[in-house]
């Protein structure tokens, strides 16, 4: 009788109230089915984090506070660190936050493959499908495709050995040359004192580190082909998130213009005969030769070449910025690290990189802590076959995301102050650097081979800067400067930049040798 009464009342209503009631009933049916009945029926699958709007899912929070959203999901399911599922714009993805599960993923590269995601990235960067097919042709060399061979070549160039020594000598030499008083003019602000310059820490670290890497990897002739390469890269670096989200050209004109400028430069560079680019690194020469062997002309392969350039330059200068920022806002830390560094210089202006790596424990600990706090690496896999992870059945075709940043703030591993910067953390507990919960460079087959060179260039940048300059923070309108905030709304896949406008201004004076 109650149901009959409801139907009679419902039929007596006008169309608008009927639509509201029907919509509410449909929504309740969808919500009950999706978040109660399906999980009960498929209890062996990762649980789905509830959301209010069908298809849309968690897109808003993912765009504004992805780390907070994933933390919420982990805690919503009791902080067990079991894999859970989340829907964003109709796509259901698995999220992994347990170090043990990450290791399991690494051990199963066939069932949980990263290549489909790399192919998507290549498409998004502008490579054509035929070009990608050629790059993934397993008949390229000894049953391996070009991308795998290049990853192996990356290791040969960037892991400790003769090839890294050659590249390192070149890159570190460029950093030495760039950090001179006379080179600060292009970065300087206004000051009434001729022996003092106002400098943006972010721009300074970016220009010095990116320029040094550019000259070390490529032949300096690249600047003849593209005089504005560095400023255009800086623009792209700031706006590249729009590319990842597939913004149309009219909504990201400046970003796409920078991308086209750099790809045009790479096209011209690759088309040069070898004798015109004789100073390039072994890795670059090998890559260009490999692309030629695939039958790809420079214009077709320019996006892939630009991807390599971007990969080698997108993170190191940001780590240098954050490490210097933490020191500048902590006078005691700055003094201790300066004393640690200066002992290695002695009476000369040169420094053996081995000293920085082996005899500066506080500097190296602060470096690791900076990575832990500011890095946001993400490992992406595609489920290629039925697979069970942490007792949960994964469906083929779905993406699996390992947000390592979730592990970097685990108090069970890093202590109750895990959310705070503690420069002595890795010095006091040397096992943390080897912990499976600490993944600033990923791991397994995708373990970043550039980690050795990155540490060296960043530590040298800091050491030479502190040796040659007296630096202090600049007040703004009579107020003490504020520590820059992390722009951590969107997952970056690398080191996070500061919020726009949160730069650190420095008062710089030369120090007498």
pLDDT over threshold 90, residue 13: no
**109 assigned to some structural domain:** no
The parent domain of residue 11 ranges over 1-41
- Average pLDDT of span 165-192: 85
Average pLDDT taken over every residue of the chain? 90
One domain for residues 8 and 121 = no
- pLDDT tens by residue, 29-85: 777 878 788 778 888 999 999 988 888 888 888 888 889 999 999 999 999 999 999
Tokens of 311: 């990969």
- What pLDDT band is residue 10 in, cutting at 50, 70 and 90? very low
- pLDDT on residue 350: 78
**461 assigned to some structural domain:** yes
Which ranges of 200-252 does DSSP label H, i.e. alpha helix?
201-217, 222-225, 229-239, 241-244
- pLDDT on residue 244: 79
The single-letter DSSP state of residue 36 is: I
- pLDDT on residue 188: 63
Query: 242-263 burial, b if ≥16 CB within 10 A, otherwise e?
Result: bbeeeeeeeebeebbebbebbb
- pLDDT tens by residue, 92-102: 999 999 999 99
Residue positions forming the annotated binding site for heme: 448
One domain for residues 327 and 427 = yes
- Average pLDDT of span 275-282: 96
One domain for residues 34 and 158 = no
Residue among 193, 405, 157 nearest 281 (CA) = 157
**213 assigned to some structural domain:** yes
- Average pLDDT of span 216-234: 96
**180 assigned to some structural domain:** yes
pLDDT top residue among 199 and 142: 199
**23 assigned to some structural domain:** yes
Among 155-169, 326-340, 400-414, 489-503, the range scoring the smallest mean pLDDT is 489-503
One domain for residues 334 and 225 = yes
> pTM for this one?
0.92
Tokens of 420: 């705070």
The CA distances from residue 249 to 3, 124, 242, 256, 488, in Å, are 55, 13, 10, 7, 25
One domain for residues 34 and 173 = no
One domain for residues 219 and 360 = yes
- What pLDDT band is residue 355 in, cutting at 50, 70 and 90? very high
pLDDT top residue among 370 and 60: 370
pLDDT over threshold 50, residue 446: yes
What are the start-end ranges of the E strands in 43-148?
47-48, 84-88, 91-96, 112-113
**93 assigned to some structural domain:** no
d(CA 484, CA 458): 19
Q: What is the CATH number of the domain that holds 382?
A: 1.10.630.10
Angle at CA 378, nearest 5°, toward 455 and 245? 115
- Average pLDDT of span 130-147: 91
- pLDDT tens by residue, 451-507: 999 999 999 999 999 999 999 999 877 778 999 999 988 778 899 999 988 999 999
Residue positions forming the annotated binding site: 448
pLDDT over threshold 50, residue 6: no
- pLDDT on residue 242: 86
How many structural domains are present in the chain? Answer: 2
Among 2-6, 47-51, 201-205, the range scoring the smallest mean pLDDT is 2-6
**95 assigned to some structural domain:** no
d(CA 122, CA 493): 15
Could you give the percent of the chain with pLDDT greater than 70? 94
pLDDT over threshold 60, residue 22: yes
**61 assigned to some structural domain:** no
d(CA 401, CA 332): 39
């Amino acid at each position: 009788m109650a149901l009959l009464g409801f139907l009679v009342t419902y039929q007596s209503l006008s169309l608008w109230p009927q639509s509201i009631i029907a919509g509410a009933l449909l929504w309740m049916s969808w919500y009950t089915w999706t978040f109660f009945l399906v999980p009960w029926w498929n209890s062996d699958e990762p649980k789905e984090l509830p959301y209010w709007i069908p298809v849309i899912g968690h897109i808003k929070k993912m765009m504004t506070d992805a780390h907070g959203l994933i933390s919420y999901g982990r805690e919503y399911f009791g902080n067990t660190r079991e894999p859970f599922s989340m829907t964003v714009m109709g796509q259901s993805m698995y999220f992994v936050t347990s170090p043990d599960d990450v290791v399991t993923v690494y051990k199963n590269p066939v069932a949980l493959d990263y290549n489909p995601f790399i192919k998507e990235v290549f498409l998004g960067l502008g490579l054509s499908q035929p070009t990608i097919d050629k790059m993934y042709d397993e008949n390229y060399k000894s049953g391996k495709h070009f991308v795998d061979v290049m990853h192996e070549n990356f290791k040969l160039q960037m892991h400790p050995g003769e090839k890294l020594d050659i590249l390192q000598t070149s890159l570190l030499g460029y950093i030495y040359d760039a950090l001179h008083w006379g080179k600060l003019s292009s970065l300087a602000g206004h000051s009434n004192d001729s022996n003092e310059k106002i400098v943006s820490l972010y721009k300074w670290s970016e220009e010095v580190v990116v320029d040094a890497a550019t000259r070390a990897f490529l032949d300096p002739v690249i600047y003849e082909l593209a005089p504005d390469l560095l400023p255009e890269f800086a623009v792209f670096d700031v706006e590249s998130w729009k590319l990842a989200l597939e913004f149309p050209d009219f909504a990201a004109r400046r970003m796409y213009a920078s991308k086209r400028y750099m790809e045009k430069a790479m096209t011209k560079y690759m088309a040069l005969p070898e004798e015109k680019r004789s100073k390039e690194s072994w890795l670059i020469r090998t890559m260009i030769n490999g692309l030629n062997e695939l039958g790809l002309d420079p214009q077709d392969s320019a996006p892939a070449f630009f991807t390599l350039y971007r990969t080698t330059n997108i993170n190191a200068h940001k780590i240098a910025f954050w490490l210097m920022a933490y020191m500048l806002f902590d006078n005691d830390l700055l003094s201790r690290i300066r004393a640690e560094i200066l002992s290695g210089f002695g009476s000369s202006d040169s420094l053996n990189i081995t000293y920085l790596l082996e005899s500066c424990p506080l500097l190296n600990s602060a470096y690791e802590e900076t990575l832990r706090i500011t890095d946001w690496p993400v490992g992406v896999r595609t489920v290629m076959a039925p697979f069970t992870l942490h007792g949960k059945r994964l469906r083929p075709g779905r993406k699996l995301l390992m947000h390592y940043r979730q592990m970097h703030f685990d108090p069970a591993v890093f202590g109750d102050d895990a959310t705070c910067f503690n420069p002595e953390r890795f010095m006091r507990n040397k096992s943390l650097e080897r912990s499976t919960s600490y993944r600033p460079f990923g791991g397994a087959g995708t373990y970043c081979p550039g980690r050795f060179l990155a540490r060296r260039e960043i530590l040298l940048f800091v050491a030479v800067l502190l040796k040659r300059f007296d630096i202090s923070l600049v007040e703004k309108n009579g107020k003490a400067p504020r520590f820059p905030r992390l722009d951590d709304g969107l997952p970056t896949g690398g080191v996070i930049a500061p919020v726009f406008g949160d730069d650190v201004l420095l008062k710089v004076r030369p120090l007498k040798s």
